[in-house]
Copies of this chain bind each other. A is one copy, B any other.
Amino acid sequence: MKQILFVSIFLSLNILYAQVNLIKYVKPIIGTEKMGHTYPGATIPFGAVQLSPETDTISYEVNGKYNGEVYKYCAGYKYEDKTIVGFSHTHLSGTGHSDLGDFLIMPTQGKLQLNPGIASDSKSGYRSAYAHSNETAEAGYYKVKLDDDNILAEMTTSTRVGMHQYTFPKSDESHIILDLMAGIYNYDDKNVWTYVRVVNDTLITGYRQTMGWSRTRTVYFAMSFSNPFINYGQRNYDVKQAYRGFWGKFDQTNNFPEIAGKNIRMFFDFKTEEAEKIKIKFALSSVSQGNALENMQTEIKDWDFEKVKTEAQNSWNAELNKIKIDASEAVKTNFYTALYHTYINPTVYTDVNGEYKGLDQEVHVANGFTNYSTFSLWDTYRALHPLFNIIQPSRNNDMLKSMMAHYKESALHMLPIWSHYANDNWCMSGYHSVSVIADAIIKGNYNGDANEALDACVITAEQRNYEGIGTYMELGFIPAEKSGISVSNTLEYAYDDWCIAQLANKLNRKDVYAEFMKRSNNWQNNFNSATGFMQPKLANGTFKPNFDPLSTNGQGFIEGNSWNYSFFVPQDPKELVAKMGGSKNFTSRLDTLFSMNLPDSFFAETEDITREGIIGGYVHGNEPAHHVAYLYNWTNEAWKTQFQVRKILNMQYKPTPDGLGGNDDCGQMSAWYIFSSLGFYPVAPGSAAYALGSPIVNNAVLKLENGNTFTIEVINQKEKNVYVQQVVLNDKPLPTLFINHSDITNGSKLIFYMGPKPKK
């Protein structure tokens, strides 16, 4: 007994002492300028609440025109902007499409202004000027001084509750604005309905219903003030209003507790002493006001802001400590900020009582798992979910269960494409759920019914009405006449089909394996051996004329051109190399990709990236080529992978607000960084193999959930030593430039020996 106790204490202490402060390397401000589309505000790992400042949304008009752009404000905040409109509770991280921005709160004092005002004149409304010098963005904590009204704004969160702390000056006219009209992607009648009840002078509950990227979406809330308000009211901006009670029996604009409409702003009035703090707890739920309140009461029981902040930051630190690296300060900042960004999506979608609203718009209970939402699968199947299979296997297991729940609740009987808050917006091509599912099950990270999951994959892949699948099943490709992205679709379906086959193989489902292995070769139908490019094909079987491999417009590709997409056969690089004329020709083609000069027209027509997101013709700012730098490993010139990967690590990720060359895409860009900086990458999720590259860390220790430790050591690590001379796994030289997932989970030690010259 004594001995066991001792060991137990020792282990606890060991874990405790082992944790080092890593959140200091997290700079949420990275990616908030230009293309990154990240947000600087507070959240906790995979948190349901993302409490972050809005510098603008498209919620107001100037001279009849919207003031901003949908695309620009995907995350609500642009580092370039000079004013803050307020702080809202839901944000997408790194996407290229907008939504959310629910429940915008802004503290003001002086004359009440219910209009947000315009960016060029912050005094024109409730918004405020601010300076980056007065702004602090940390993991789990955000602080900014609001200059116009001399108010300090601070925020932190638990999983489902945002906590605000506003330090006011002395004022008889202090206000908290709750703008229920505000939102991101706030046009086309986005606001469907809003309902609020003022329960008492510190508690408000209600919901907000929107049709945005998520078409049928309702978010319930409970909002609690630390101090009672002395007065409150609302303004309803609906052009057409519902019947409002019999002959105006109530003045519904002031101190009237039942509020409903489409476009509503509320205010709560206080008298404040100098430096008086007003705190707000703001809880969300997809199910009900009652659940939101229960979430609040369970997660944040009192008004100790510092305690909540500490808990938030401790939760970040615990997650970050799963990978400890030794590296330069700049690399550490890039690395831990990237790791932070990989821990944001998907987001927790169950209430503390296990309930959530399903895709059928009905309330369900997640039995034995946490239901997650925000699946940007076209992006995240590539490296984010594979990363989770190493350092978040339990969460990834629950994410699979969430995808299966989505499948069961879907009237279409499909696994998610881009799943969000009880909706699928079907964004991007492919059916990459199957990749995430196959990868996790093959790597042993699913405790559900694997055969049921395979069935779901097959049924999804046979949804003939979905984006050309029917034609694809008949012809083996999608005719260019039928789709503007016919080649992307065929290539991605073929890869996904291979994933299904791999899963079927593991489950010994031979008929499924045979069928989907056959489908996985369909990429060859778009491969033109005469040009060596993937090309759109017409229904008559000939290639579409006027082919331009550089163009991203009308050539059959999505977020990419043929130059990048022609390498998209992650399931069979060996065959692709052969089809492209063997190792030499293939290498030469890759070299060209990484070195070509792109014409200006390319940037004019290509979305989501800037010149910074490009190396030669290789587009790192979009995802389709993320595996391409690793393809040299299938040639005789694997050292070029090492060169290109190190180049990308250095060029595409910088510890500055504009440090991301493209959308972070819910963590996929960041997951690429984590893998590549550690020296390996999952070229084809669904396979247990990782291709080796060129690590940028000096060493790394990965603490696995199974208790094992995977250690990476880099000998002779220097800026110029980008080339791998030798790799030793558990004291044995590696015969190839690949390792296996089991090498990691078994708790291996991997040593890279680096040098300034290629090992040819």
Give A contacts to B, CB under 8 Å. 185, 188-190, 192-193, 195, 197-199, 205, 207, 209, 211-213, 215-216, 238, 240-247, 249-251, 255-258, 260, 262, 288-290, 360-363, 410-412, 417-418, 425-428, 465-467, 484-485
Q: Chain B nearest CB: distance from A390 CB in Å?
A: 30
B216 near A257: Cβ-Cβ < 8 Å: no
Residues of B within 8 A of A466 (CB): 249-250
Asked whether A467 lies within 8 Å of B249 as measured between CB atoms, the reply is: yes
Interface centre among A257, A258, A418 (most CB of B within 10 A): A258
Query: What are 26 A-B contacts with C-beta separation under 8 Å?
Result: A188-B242, A189-B240, A189-B262, A195-B361, A197-B361, A199-B411, A211-B242, A212-B242, A215-B243, A215-B260, A243-B425, A245-B426, A247-B484, A247-B485, A249-B426, A249-B466, A250-B426, A250-B466, A251-B465, A258-B410, A288-B362, A288-B363, A289-B360, A289-B361, A289-B362, A290-B362
Instruction: Find A193's partner among B193, B197, B258, B418 (CB 8 Å cutoff).
Output: B193
**Alpha-carbon distance A223/B447, docked complex (angstroms):** 37
Contact status A192-B192, CB under 8 Å: yes
Chain B residues, Cβ within 8 Å of A417: 246
Which residue on B lies nearest to A238, using beta carbons? B189
Which residues of chain B are near A262, meaning CB under 8 Å? 189
Distance in angstroms from A290 CB to nearest chain B CB is 6
A190 to B238, CA, bound (A): 12
Nearest-neighbor residue (CB-CB) of A185 within chain B = B243
Residue A241 contacts which of B188, B258, B428 (CB distance < 8 angstroms)? B188
Chain B residues in 8 Å Cβ range of A241:
188
Q: Provide the residues of chain B in CB contact with A249, threshold 8 Å.
A: 426, 466-467
Q: Which residues of B contact A425 (CB under 8 A)?
A: 243, 245-246
Q: Is A411 a contact of B197 with CB atoms below 8 Å?
A: yes
Bound-complex Cα distance A290 to B410 (A)? 15
- Once bound together, how far apart are the Cα atoms of A199 and B411, in whole Å? 6
B193 touches A216 (CB 8 A): yes
A197 CB contacts on chain B under 8 angstroms: 360-361, 411
Output the least CB separation between A165 and chain B (Å): 27
Return the contact of A411 from the options B189, B213, B258, B427 (Cβ within 8 A): B258
Q: What separation, in Å, do the CA atoms of A362 and B195 have in the docked complex?
A: 11
* Chain B residues within 8 Å of A216, by CB: 193, 195, 260
Contacts of A244 on B, CB cut-off 8 Å?
Answer: 215
B contact residues around A245 at 8 Å (CB) = 425-426
Q: How far is the CB of A122 from chain B (nearest CB, A)?
A: 30
A495 to B584, CA, bound (A): 100
Cα separation A207 to B193 with both chains bound (whole Å): 15
